[in-house]
């Protein structure tokens, strides 16, 4: 089975992404996204293992923040945007603001059964998480806020 830390280290080295272990066994990868105008944007993708997510078996979970949920969001179009994911979806999760106060945050997420995961798959899914989060962030929050 894949070693998550080794795979993420290899992916980060390949693409020159910054990789940090932000807490024990939770990594933050700064994924580079090339824009149509040839400029670059970066999106944090958080990656960790969840022991019993896949029918009681380990899964590799990843997500990226889109923006803080609020009553002005166009939920119809958020759901439409979620349909563009191959490996990903958009959902809401409990979160904290920078000052520590609680909030609900829109995220793009994916989970892969660890027993089926490969380094190539992790690379592709992490990129999709970052890309879809970045697109939704632009569309619903007006730009790069996370």
Does residue 31 contact residue 47 with C-beta atoms inside 8 Å? Answer: no
Does residue 71 contact residue 54 with C-beta atoms inside 8 Å? Answer: no
Within-domain flag for 25: yes
Within-domain flag for 133: yes
Please state the domain count of the chain.
Answer: 1
Task: Report CA-CA distances (Å) from 80 to 35, 89, 129.
Answer: 22, 10, 16
Question: Alpha carbon 45 to chain centroid distance?
Answer: 4
Provide the mean pLDDT of the chain.
Answer: 93
Q: Which domain holds residue 25?
A: 4-141
Least confident window among 33-37, 85-89, 100-104: 33-37
Cα distance between residue 114 and residue 76, in whole Å: 33
Within-domain flag for 112: yes
Least confident window among 35-39, 70-74, 90-94: 35-39
């Amino acid at each position: 089975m894949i070693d998550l830390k080794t795979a993420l280290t290899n992916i980060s080295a390949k693409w020159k992404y910054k990789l940090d272990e932000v807490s024990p066994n939770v990594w933050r990868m700064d994924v580079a996204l090339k824009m149509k105008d040839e400029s670059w944007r970066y999106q944090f993708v958080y990656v960790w293992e969840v022991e019993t997510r896949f029918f009681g078996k380990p899964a590799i979970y990843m997500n990226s923040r889109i923006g803080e949920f609020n009553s002005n969001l166009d939920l119809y179009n958020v759901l439409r945007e979620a349909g563009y994911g191959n490996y990903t979806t958009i959902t809401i999760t409990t979160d904290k603001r920078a000052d520590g106060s609680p909030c609900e945050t829109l995220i793009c997420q994916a989970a892969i059964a660890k027993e089926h995961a490969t380094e190539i798959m992790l690379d592709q899914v992490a990129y999709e998480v970052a890309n879809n989060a970045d697109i939704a962030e632009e569309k619903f929050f007006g730009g790069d806020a996370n």
